[in-house]
Structure 1
Amino acid sequence: MLYVEIYTRKWLGFNIYREVLGGYCMGGKFKWTKFENCDINDPFFNSLKQDYPEFPQWFMKKSKNGESALVCEDEKGLCAFLYLKEEKEPIELIDQILPSKKRIKIGTLKLDERIQGQRLGEGAVGVALWRWQESEAEEIYLTVFPKHTLLIELIEKFGFTYMGKNKRGENIYLKSKKKINYSDPFKAFPFLNPYFEKAGYIPIYDYYHDTLFPYSELYNTKQEVEEKAAANGITKVFIGFPTSNLHHKVGEPVIIYRIDTKAEKNKQYKSAATSFCTLTNLTIIKSDNIPNIDLDKFIKLAGNKTVYSPEELEQFFYEKKNIVLIEMVYNGFFGKGENITFKELNEKGLFNDYPYNIVLSREQFISILEMGGKDVSNIIINKT
């Protein structure tokens, strides 16, 4: 069957480009690592020792218990550290006590100053929230001193709510599955807004897809996926050149469709839906050769988010008839062995047009999630 091969040529009307800059830890990578394999004398831990005098004793206890953390290390040493734990105790604040219930605590989340401009923090928080989503815990929380303003901005972006202070003077930030904030996709992450009415596809060629979404296709274990996700971040930014108007809207979910270009036979079994995202921004840079913003603003908007130089962006600006900048938050993936082939989608009437023209109903989108082995009740929650 040549359906996929023929349509692939036509899909070039909307070219998807590479992943945004950042997300890699100064030549290092994230890895789930035993406490005992981390050097507590690394200068990375100095600020934690200053904030928490008992930190060395706590660290040694975790080491003796064989516990692990998600860490990133480069040629200078540790540059990121995430530790999670399950709890069921009450949380004591100065003016109230939060009753005991199943919670995930982000026990430690630290990023070194030298990587503050990268998206490692976003990726680490994303991993923590994915773990929480998969757990039976109703809430996830962390404690943070008010002086750590960048960390507070990050967790507030992801929908954590200030609950008060504890006796140590730390702020308590908490997120509950019963009170998800659907005002924007980041605050709702990793859950999808239950009030969407339609969805769509975004097709990406394999050589772009596997750079942008490496954990959607090739990795077998949850830990491998989390390590890649933390390093790559969960915000995806693209520059595209559509040939017609898109039906996609900010806040709507989309299915990421990987177009296989390597298979010579049975392409219908190779190209597949791998992931699902939520659109967070859709900026029309240029439409029918008429710019909506000037060149300088385009370069400022896109220049620090793509691998392209200002010169390349300028070339696009003057040569392309239509230019769109799309941003998405990466809600989840189906995973190796669960990706849904073109053949399966087509047989169920879910892929019968150019991908950008396909409007998926709410029921069809949910059907695709189920075909990918996802528990929809744990992805779309809290609809009243």
Structure 2
Amino acid sequence: MELEYKPFRNINLADPFFDSLKEGYAEFPDWFARKADDLAYVFEQSDGSIDGFLYLKVEDEALLDITPQQGRARRLKVGTMKVNPHGTKMGERFIKKIIDHAVREQTEQIYVTVFEQHEALITLFRRYGFEQIGTKTSHNGTELVLAKNIHANYLDMYRGYPLVKLGQNKAYILSLYPQWHTRLLPDSILRNETNDIVEDISSANSIHKVYLTKMHGVDALRQGDILAIYRTSDGQGPAHYRSVVTSIGVVEEYRHLDSFSSAEEFFRYCRPYSVFTRQELEDLWRRRNYPFVFKFMYNLSFKRKVTRAVMIEELGLPGAEQYWGFFEISHGQLRAIANKGEADESLIID
């Protein structure tokens, strides 16, 4: 199953997936027809059935149909979002996509209307910093209006997402082999979407990641530490030019393999966000040769990958004398790497 960005006219409105939206919003079929040339994100199974739908719209107007009314501003509206939950973290992928859009379109505020009975969806939005700013009443009923300001006061790593807070947190280079990087942070660009926000999309794309390693020093990781994700060479040329930093993440938790009381606890912790299959996890549990386990959030993806050559020759990072698996860098070096990667610098805060 893949996430596609496609015109409404190429999306099957007759799919049973849309039945609840038709029931909740009498005007939905007419609205859908008027959007024939607009684009939406769709998760489709191999048989063509739909499991997720997301429509986003940039607005520059006052919100006069909600209580209390909101003044004119440039906002990103979550026009329609629905997922069929089945344990794949699709909702998180959509949250990430929503925020990616807002950052790219330079819309400070995101808002969405949702009926109060959709408790799971409301909980998901609230986890990532959406708060109620009002209500909207129509012939369909009364909906909550939830909004998130990208640069709101930082409360924690979840509600502040995608902000990266430096503070007293340490920053590190973390290397991943290409095969793990592709599965964890895939650089898959959709053919029918041309802007930079489609980077790193696949059926594995979610906000939270779990990784296992045996690299020396990783046991120093603590919550809030910052990771510059470094994809090692693909062997198609000199590592000096083929190894690149692609993204920035924030550590949620570090654990040692011995901290899990059972294999089943280990599987439950790792499986939803891990690059590893169940069989691979069973092998890792049995062999115990990758004892360092950490969970991190996937915050920023670079528009331009930053090569090892640039980091050494232009940014002053250590050269051949340094093992480039895992090592600490300064906050200044992290900012310089992000700048070279053309990340939005306002998302990295002191």
- Partner Cα separation in structure 1 for residue 329 and residue 109 of structure 2: 32
Q: 1:267 offset after TM fit, Å?
A: 2.2
Residue aligning to 1:174: 147
Correspondence 1:118 to 2:49: no
Q: 1:282 offset after TM fit, Å?
A: 1.6
Residue aligning to 1:334: 302
Q: 1:200 offset after TM fit, Å?
A: 0.3
- Partner Cα separation in structure 2 for residue 169 and residue 250 of structure 1: 39
- Partner Cα separation in structure 1 for residue 348 and residue 271 of structure 2: 34
Q: Specify the SS of the correspondent of 1:129.
A: helix
Residue 44 of structure 2, aligned match among 73, 76, 93: 73
Q: 1:256 offset after TM fit, Å?
A: 0.7
Q: Which amino acid aligns with 1:71?
A: V
Residue aligning to 2:172: 200
Q: Percent identity?
A: 28
CA contact (8 A) 1:71 1:80 kept: yes
- Partner Cα separation in structure 1 for residue 305 and residue 188 of structure 2: 8
- Partner Cα separation in structure 1 for residue 196 and residue 216 of structure 2: 40
Q: 1:59 offset after TM fit, Å?
A: 1.1
Q: Which runs of 5+ in 2 are unaligned?
A: none
* Shift in alpha-carbon separation, 1:95–1:104, aligned structure 2, 3 A: closer
Residue aligning to 1:302: 270
Q: Please, what TM-score do these two structures have when normalized by structure 1?
A: 0.79
Q: 1:221 offset after TM fit, Å?
A: 3.6
- Partner Cα separation in structure 1 for residue 238 and residue 92 of structure 2: 38
Q: Which structure carries more helix by proportion?
A: 1
Q: Specify the SS of the correspondent of 1:256.
A: strand
Q: Please, what TM-score do these two structures have when normalized by structure 2?
A: 0.87
CA contact (8 A) 2:68 2:135 kept: no
Q: Which amino acid aligns with 2:333?
A: Q
Residue 16 of structure 2, aligned match among 40, 43, 68: 43
- Partner Cα separation in structure 2 for residue 166 and residue 273 of structure 1: 44
Residue 76 of structure 2, aligned match among 104, 110, 116: 104
Residue aligning to 1:56: 29
Q: What CA deviation, in whole Å up to 9, does each residue of 1:30-63 have, x standing for no partner?
A: 1111111122222111101111111111111112
Q: Bigger shift: 361-370 or 193-202?
A: 193-202
Alignment coverage as a number of residue pairs = 340
* Shift in alpha-carbon separation, 1:36–1:328, aligned structure 2, 3 A: same
- Partner Cα separation in structure 1 for residue 77 and residue 217 of structure 2: 47
* Shift in alpha-carbon separation, 1:182–1:193, aligned structure 2, 3 A: farther
- Partner Cα separation in structure 2 for residue 139 and residue 196 of structure 1: 28
In the TM superposition, 1:213-292 aligns within 5 A as 213-215=185-187, 221-222=194-195, 225=198, 228=201, 232-244=205-217, 246-263=219-236, 265-285=237-257, 291-292=258-259
Q: What CA deviation, in whole Å up to 9, does each residue of 1:5-36 have, x standing for no partner?
A: xxxxxxxxxxxxxxxxxxxxxxx311111111
- Partner Cα separation in structure 2 for residue 41 and residue 98 of structure 1: 36
Q: Which amino acid aligns with 1:320?
A: R
Tell me the C-alpha RMSD between the 2 structures: 2.7
Q: 1:276 offset after TM fit, Å?
A: 1.3
Q: 1:147 offset after TM fit, Å?
A: 1.3
* Shift in alpha-carbon separation, 1:44–1:218, aligned structure 2, 3 A: closer
